[in-house]
Amino acid sequence: MIRPVMNATKTIPIVMLTGGDDPVEAGLVESLARPGGNVTGITNLSRELGGKRLELLKEAVPKLARVAVFYEQDVPGSVREVKELLPPAARALKLTVQPWGVKDADDFDRFLAAMGKQRPDGLYVPFGALMRDNRRRIADLASKSRLPSMFVTREAVEAGGLMSYSADLADNYRRVAHYLEKILKGAKPADLPVEQPTKFEFVINLKAAQQIDLTIPPNVLARADKVIR
Protein backbone atom coordinates (compact mmCIF):
# COMPACT_ATOMS: atom_id res chain seq x y z
CA MET A 1 0.00 0.00 0.00
CA ILE A 2 2.92 2.38 0.67
CA ARG A 3 4.65 1.94 -2.68
CA PRO A 4 1.80 3.38 -4.83
CA VAL A 5 1.67 6.46 -2.59
CA MET A 6 5.45 6.85 -2.83
CA ASN A 7 5.22 6.63 -6.61
CA ALA A 8 2.63 9.40 -6.60
CA THR A 9 4.64 11.92 -4.57
CA LYS A 10 8.22 12.59 -3.54
CA THR A 11 7.43 15.65 -1.44
CA ILE A 12 4.28 15.05 0.62
CA PRO A 13 5.25 13.46 3.98
CA ILE A 14 4.21 9.81 4.38
CA VAL A 15 3.97 8.20 7.83
CA MET A 16 3.93 4.42 7.49
CA LEU A 17 3.00 1.56 9.78
CA THR A 18 4.52 -1.42 8.01
CA GLY A 19 3.34 -4.99 8.47
CA GLY A 20 5.77 -7.78 7.72
CA ASP A 21 8.68 -6.58 5.62
CA ASP A 22 11.82 -4.66 6.57
CA PRO A 23 11.32 -1.13 5.16
CA VAL A 24 15.00 -0.87 4.23
CA GLU A 25 15.02 -4.12 2.27
CA ALA A 26 11.71 -3.13 0.69
CA GLY A 27 13.31 0.11 -0.51
CA LEU A 28 10.93 2.36 1.40
CA VAL A 29 13.69 4.15 3.32
CA GLU A 30 17.48 4.41 3.05
CA SER A 31 18.02 3.35 6.66
CA LEU A 32 16.06 3.20 9.91
CA ALA A 33 18.20 5.93 11.48
CA ARG A 34 18.02 8.30 8.51
CA PRO A 35 15.08 7.51 6.19
CA GLY A 36 16.36 10.01 3.63
CA GLY A 37 13.15 10.68 1.73
CA ASN A 38 9.57 11.65 2.42
CA VAL A 39 8.71 8.42 4.27
CA THR A 40 9.14 7.56 7.94
CA GLY A 41 7.12 5.86 10.67
CA ILE A 42 6.89 2.54 12.49
CA THR A 43 8.02 -0.92 11.40
CA ASN A 44 6.36 -3.87 13.13
CA LEU A 45 9.21 -6.22 12.14
CA SER A 46 6.61 -8.97 11.98
CA ARG A 47 8.78 -11.45 10.10
CA GLU A 48 11.73 -10.91 12.43
CA LEU A 49 9.58 -12.05 15.36
CA GLY A 50 9.25 -15.55 13.91
CA GLY A 51 11.85 -17.02 16.23
CA LYS A 52 10.02 -15.74 19.29
CA ARG A 53 6.76 -17.19 17.99
CA LEU A 54 8.34 -20.61 17.51
CA GLU A 55 9.79 -20.38 21.01
CA LEU A 56 6.37 -19.65 22.53
CA LEU A 57 4.75 -22.45 20.53
CA LYS A 58 7.43 -24.86 21.76
CA GLU A 59 6.87 -23.78 25.37
CA ALA A 60 3.12 -24.29 24.99
CA VAL A 61 3.62 -27.68 23.34
CA PRO A 62 6.82 -29.20 24.82
CA LYS A 63 6.64 -32.29 22.57
CA LEU A 64 6.62 -30.10 19.45
CA ALA A 65 9.09 -31.42 16.86
CA ARG A 66 7.73 -30.61 13.36
CA VAL A 67 6.08 -27.32 12.48
CA ALA A 68 4.25 -26.72 9.21
CA VAL A 69 4.69 -23.17 7.93
CA PHE A 70 2.39 -21.62 5.36
CA TYR A 71 4.04 -19.08 3.06
CA GLU A 72 2.92 -17.12 0.03
CA GLN A 73 4.99 -18.37 -2.89
CA ASP A 74 4.67 -15.15 -4.89
CA VAL A 75 5.62 -12.79 -2.04
CA PRO A 76 9.42 -12.33 -1.66
CA GLY A 77 9.17 -11.38 2.01
CA SER A 78 7.18 -14.51 2.79
CA VAL A 79 9.67 -16.70 0.94
CA ARG A 80 12.57 -15.05 2.76
CA GLU A 81 10.96 -15.69 6.13
CA VAL A 82 10.48 -19.41 5.57
CA LYS A 83 13.81 -19.93 3.78
CA GLU A 84 16.15 -17.65 5.75
CA LEU A 85 14.68 -16.31 8.99
CA LEU A 86 12.84 -19.27 10.52
CA PRO A 87 15.33 -22.16 9.95
CA PRO A 88 18.07 -20.86 12.33
CA ALA A 89 15.52 -20.26 15.09
CA ALA A 90 13.96 -23.68 14.48
CA ARG A 91 17.34 -25.43 14.69
CA ALA A 92 18.09 -23.71 18.00
CA LEU A 93 14.79 -25.07 19.33
CA LYS A 94 15.40 -28.51 17.75
CA LEU A 95 12.39 -28.09 15.50
CA THR A 96 11.94 -29.15 11.89
CA VAL A 97 10.21 -26.62 9.64
CA GLN A 98 7.91 -28.04 6.97
CA PRO A 99 7.24 -25.24 4.44
CA TRP A 100 3.91 -25.29 2.62
CA GLY A 101 3.64 -22.82 -0.24
CA VAL A 102 0.25 -21.35 -1.05
CA LYS A 103 -1.02 -19.32 -3.99
CA ASP A 104 -4.74 -19.29 -3.30
CA ALA A 105 -7.24 -20.22 -0.60
CA ASP A 106 -7.76 -23.75 -1.94
CA ASP A 107 -4.15 -24.59 -1.10
CA PHE A 108 -5.02 -24.57 2.61
CA ASP A 109 -7.42 -27.49 2.17
CA ARG A 110 -4.86 -29.36 0.04
CA PHE A 111 -2.47 -29.13 2.99
CA LEU A 112 -4.87 -31.12 5.15
CA ALA A 113 -5.09 -33.89 2.56
CA ALA A 114 -1.34 -33.99 1.96
CA MET A 115 -0.06 -34.25 5.55
CA GLY A 116 0.31 -38.03 5.39
CA LYS A 117 3.01 -39.74 7.42
CA GLN A 118 4.96 -36.51 7.92
CA ARG A 119 2.17 -35.03 9.96
CA PRO A 120 3.37 -31.87 11.75
CA ASP A 121 2.92 -31.24 15.47
CA GLY A 122 2.04 -27.58 15.02
CA LEU A 123 1.21 -24.89 12.50
CA TYR A 124 2.87 -21.48 12.07
CA VAL A 125 0.96 -18.88 10.06
CA PRO A 126 3.07 -15.81 9.13
CA PHE A 127 2.15 -12.33 7.99
CA GLY A 128 0.49 -11.97 4.59
CA ALA A 129 -2.64 -10.77 2.81
CA LEU A 130 -3.73 -14.30 1.91
CA MET A 131 -3.26 -15.41 5.53
CA ARG A 132 -5.16 -12.38 6.84
CA ASP A 133 -8.10 -12.86 4.48
CA ASN A 134 -8.37 -16.58 5.33
CA ARG A 135 -7.57 -16.48 9.04
CA ARG A 136 -10.86 -18.08 10.10
CA ARG A 137 -10.52 -20.80 7.47
CA ILE A 138 -6.97 -21.56 8.61
CA ALA A 139 -7.97 -21.55 12.28
CA ASP A 140 -10.77 -24.03 11.53
CA LEU A 141 -8.35 -26.20 9.58
CA ALA A 142 -5.90 -26.23 12.50
CA SER A 143 -8.68 -27.14 14.91
CA LYS A 144 -9.99 -29.98 12.73
CA SER A 145 -6.43 -31.25 12.29
CA ARG A 146 -5.79 -30.94 16.04
CA LEU A 147 -2.76 -28.78 15.37
CA PRO A 148 -1.63 -26.12 17.87
CA SER A 149 -1.36 -22.93 15.82
CA MET A 150 0.67 -19.74 16.08
CA PHE A 151 -0.48 -16.64 14.23
CA VAL A 152 0.79 -13.10 13.77
CA THR A 153 -2.31 -11.15 14.77
CA ARG A 154 -4.79 -11.07 17.63
CA GLU A 155 -7.62 -11.07 15.07
CA ALA A 156 -6.61 -14.56 13.94
CA VAL A 157 -6.78 -15.83 17.53
CA GLU A 158 -10.17 -14.18 18.01
CA ALA A 159 -11.23 -16.06 14.86
CA GLY A 160 -10.31 -19.39 16.47
CA GLY A 161 -6.51 -19.67 16.29
CA LEU A 162 -4.58 -20.84 19.35
CA MET A 163 -1.94 -18.14 19.89
CA SER A 164 -0.46 -14.98 18.44
CA TYR A 165 2.57 -12.82 19.17
CA SER A 166 3.08 -9.42 17.61
CA ALA A 167 3.91 -5.80 18.14
CA ASP A 168 1.24 -4.00 20.16
CA LEU A 169 -0.64 -2.27 17.35
CA ALA A 170 -2.54 0.07 19.66
CA ASP A 171 0.76 1.39 20.98
CA ASN A 172 2.13 1.74 17.45
CA TYR A 173 -0.89 3.77 16.35
CA ARG A 174 -0.32 6.14 19.26
CA ARG A 175 3.31 6.54 18.22
CA VAL A 176 2.27 7.29 14.64
CA ALA A 177 0.36 10.26 16.02
CA HIS A 178 3.61 11.63 17.46
CA TYR A 179 5.17 11.55 13.98
CA LEU A 180 2.25 13.51 12.58
CA GLU A 181 2.58 16.08 15.33
CA LYS A 182 6.31 16.55 14.64
CA ILE A 183 5.77 16.87 10.89
CA LEU A 184 2.99 19.41 11.38
CA LYS A 185 5.44 21.41 13.48
CA GLY A 186 7.97 21.45 10.64
CA ALA A 187 10.08 18.30 11.00
CA LYS A 188 11.09 16.48 7.82
CA PRO A 189 10.43 12.72 7.44
CA ALA A 190 14.01 12.31 6.19
CA ASP A 191 15.29 13.35 9.62
CA LEU A 192 12.86 11.32 11.75
CA PRO A 193 14.22 7.81 12.44
CA VAL A 194 11.97 4.84 11.72
CA GLU A 195 11.05 3.27 15.06
CA GLN A 196 10.85 -0.41 15.91
CA PRO A 197 8.20 -1.77 18.29
CA THR A 198 8.84 -1.52 22.01
CA LYS A 199 5.66 -3.21 23.26
CA PHE A 200 4.44 -6.66 22.25
CA GLU A 201 1.23 -8.62 22.69
CA PHE A 202 0.91 -12.35 23.41
CA VAL A 203 -2.64 -13.72 23.05
CA ILE A 204 -3.91 -17.21 23.91
CA ASN A 205 -7.30 -18.72 23.04
CA LEU A 206 -8.21 -21.30 25.70
CA LYS A 207 -11.31 -22.31 23.75
CA ALA A 208 -9.08 -23.32 20.84
CA ALA A 209 -6.81 -25.21 23.24
CA GLN A 210 -9.75 -27.15 24.67
CA GLN A 211 -10.94 -28.12 21.19
CA ILE A 212 -7.64 -29.91 20.51
CA ASP A 213 -7.29 -31.24 24.09
CA LEU A 214 -4.22 -29.12 24.76
CA THR A 215 -3.38 -27.91 28.25
CA ILE A 216 -1.39 -24.69 28.17
CA PRO A 217 1.36 -24.79 30.84
CA PRO A 218 0.66 -22.32 33.68
CA ASN A 219 3.95 -20.47 33.15
CA VAL A 220 3.03 -19.81 29.51
CA LEU A 221 -0.52 -18.80 30.37
CA ALA A 222 0.76 -16.34 32.97
CA ARG A 223 2.77 -14.49 30.33
CA ALA A 224 -0.20 -13.84 28.05
CA ASP A 225 -1.37 -10.25 27.69
CA LYS A 226 -4.85 -11.45 26.75
CA VAL A 227 -6.57 -14.78 27.33
CA ILE A 228 -9.73 -15.70 25.41
CA ARG A 229 -11.83 -18.06 27.53
Pick the CATH number of 2-43+168-198 from 3.40.50.2300, 3.40.50.300, 3.40.309.10, 3.40.605.10: 3.40.50.2300
Give the Cα separation of 186 and 54 in Å (integer): 43
Say whether pTM exceeds 0.85: yes
Is 82:50 a contact under the CB 8 Å cutoff? no
pLDDT in tens, the chain (229 residues): 677 778 888 889 999 887 666 788 878 899 999 999 999 999 877 778 899 999 999 999 999 999 999 999 998 888 989 999 999 999 999 999 999 999 999 898 888 778 766 789 999 999 888 999 999 999 999 999 999 999 999 999 999 999 999 989 888 888 889 999 999 999 999 999 999 888 999 999 999 999 999 999 999 999 999 999 9
Q: Domain segments of the chain: what residues?
A: 2-43+168-198, 48-166+201-228
Asked if domains 2-43+168-198 and 48-166+201-228 share a fold, the reply is: yes
Give the whole-angstrom CA distance, residue 205 versus residue 55. Answer: 17
| Whole-Å CA distances, 120 to 61, 71, 169 | 12, 15, 30
CA 194/CA 31 separation, integer angstroms: 8
CATH number corresponding to 48-166+201-228: 3.40.50.2300
Q: Which residues contact 164 (CB under 8 A, 6 or more apart)?
A: 150, 151, 152, 153, 154, 156, 157, 201, 202, 203
